[in-house]
């Protein structure tokens, strides 16, 4: 009997949840031992379509459980409960260099999960599915509050967890894209942390003056976070990605007013972020390598600076716990080499007991929240600090899809555990659910 002649049933539980929450996909009432394709489709905010698919064989009872059964092929293979999420890719015919990121965190990412007869690899939108199910994935849990912050010339957004608080705080610094990125802060708030997402490369004050913000801008942002009545001002952390890591390390090492409980640096370096090093990087762009697809490999540019103590944050001055998360296949920043150098510097200074390094052999640069679609390369609009202009190129970020995605899941758990340990004294707040 063909699958289409039976009322095949598809279930996704939960169908509405946070982006870092697993779901279970099951197929029932299919003929025993037939080939089926489970497909996921998402249309992102810029209108582009993304999809993933996996091939399965129904068991003797006509069922498939994606959390336990092995995919025979598709955009991933093997037993991968969340493979349909992290293996998402642009639909055939899309323009090159796309990257999937959520911009409006107050709305969900909407997916259609469907099941089809046979092993399909394309043309899903032209076929009638045997069954389908709508799924919502959120960065903001119910009750999380999003509050734009513009006072003191800041360009930022504060996310507050549900409940009365007060809550430990996190100052969240993204990388060199130059915009206000909110999705990580929204998710941190969903896990009990008041999180301030800060735009420091292209805030309004920089656009008006044409100058890069100075250290006082970051100190003001942390002070605004600490003085909010919903925040425990004495329990704050700095979290940075890429360039944001450099600013976090610089503040913690040298600022007389920034005294965080802990630091988390993802895919970053301790090269001091300054006009001089930014100018060096721009002039040294000729040292970038290109692969056969004309994608930029920029990891080598900063390597020479690791040999110059004057150009590096003196991490031996740190007096709070530091978690470094790096991918050894990072093709954008020498994050692994930087981590090893920081380890040596801290051992020499006698504060290595404060350091935890988590390194993943086959992970790339973009280590994001769990189940985020892996992007090995994409077009990137790099903001020149303090200037209104930006330049765009196709960056090779690195990472092998399955290994990178497993690293994202593990790194997120380790980061939350680290923040809970040092900001909540090891007692995790109740987990938010939708």
Contacts of range 300-304, beta carbons closer than 8 Å, 24 or more positions apart: 300/334, 302/269, 302/271, 302/333, 302/334, 302/338, 303/334, 303/337
> What one-character DSSP code corresponds to residue 188?
H
Question: Which residue bears the tokens 């800060």?
Answer: 198
Active site residue 365: yes
Quote the tokens at residue 204: 């309004």
Query: What are 49's strand-pairing partners?
Result: 43
Catalytic residue among 329, 330, 374, 404: 330
Which among 59, 41, 61, 37 is positioned nearest to 49, based on CA atoms?
41
Active site residue 330: yes
Cα–Cα distance, 361 to 336 (Å, whole number)? 10
Catalytic residue among 242, 248, 262, 265: 242
Q: Note whether 125 and 146 are within 8 A (CB).
A: no
Active site residue 293: no
Phi, psi of 183 (to 5 degrees): -65, -35
Using CA atoms, how far residue 214 sits from 176, 251, 253, 273, 417, in Å, is 16, 11, 15, 10, 32
Catalytic residue among 42, 55, 116, 365: 365
SS3 226: helix
Active-site residues: which are they? 242, 330, 365
């Amino acid at each position: 009997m063909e699958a289409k002649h039976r009322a095949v049933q598809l279930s996704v539980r939960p169908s509405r949840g946070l982006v870092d929450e697993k779901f279970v996909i099951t197929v029932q009432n299919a003929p025993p031992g037939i080939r089926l394709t489970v497909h996921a489709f998402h249309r992102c905010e810029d209108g582009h379509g993304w999809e993933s698919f996996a091939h399965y064989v129904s068991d003797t009872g006509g069922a498939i459980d994606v959390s336990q059964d092995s995919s025979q092929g598709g955009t991933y293979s093997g037993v991968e409960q969340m493979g349909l999420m992290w293996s998402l890719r642009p639909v055939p015919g899309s323009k090159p260099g796309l990257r999937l990121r959520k911009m409006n965190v107050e709305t969900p990412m909407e997916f259609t999960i469907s099941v089809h007869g046979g092993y399909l690899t394309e043309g899903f939108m032209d076929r009638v599915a045997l069954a389908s199910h709508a799924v919502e994935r959120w960065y903001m849990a119910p009750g999380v509050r999003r509050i734009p912050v513009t006072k003191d010339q800041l360009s930022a957004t504060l996310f507050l967890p549900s409940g009365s608080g007060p809550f430990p705080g996190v100052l969240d610094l993204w990388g060199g894209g130059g915009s206000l990125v909110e999705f990580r802060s929204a998710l941190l708030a969903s896990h009990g942390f008041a999180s301030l997402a800060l735009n420091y490369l292209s805030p309004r004050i920089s656009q008006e003056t044409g100058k890069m913000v100075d250290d006082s801008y970051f100190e003001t942002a942390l002070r605004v976070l600490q003085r909010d009545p919903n925040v425990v001002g004495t329990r704050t952390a700095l979290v940075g990605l890429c360039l944001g890591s450099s600013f976090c390390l610089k503040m913690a090492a040298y600022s007389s007013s920034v005294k965080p409980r802990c630091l988390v640096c993802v895919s970053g370096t301790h090269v001091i972020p300054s006009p001089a090093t930014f100018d060096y990087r721009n002039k040294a762009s000729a040292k970038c390598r290109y692969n056969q697809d004309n994608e930029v490999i920029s990891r080598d540019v900063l390597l020479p600076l690791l040999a110059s103590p004057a150009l590096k944050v003196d991490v031996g001055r740190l007096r709070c716990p530091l978690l470094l998360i790096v991918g050894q296949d990072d093709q954008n920043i020498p994050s692994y080499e930087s981590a090893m150098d920081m380890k040596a510097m801290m051992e020499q200074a006698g504060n290595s007991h404060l350091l935890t390094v988590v390194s993943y052999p086959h992970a790339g640069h973009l280590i994001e929240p769990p189940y985020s679609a892996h992007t090995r390369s994409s077009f990137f609009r790099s903001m020149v600090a303090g200037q209104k202009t930006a330049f765009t190129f196709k960056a090779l970020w690195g990472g092998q899809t399955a290994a990178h995605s497993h690293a994202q899941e593990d790194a997120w758990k380790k980061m939350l555990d680290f923040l809970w340990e040092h900001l909540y004294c090891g007692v995790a707040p109740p987990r938010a659910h939708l």
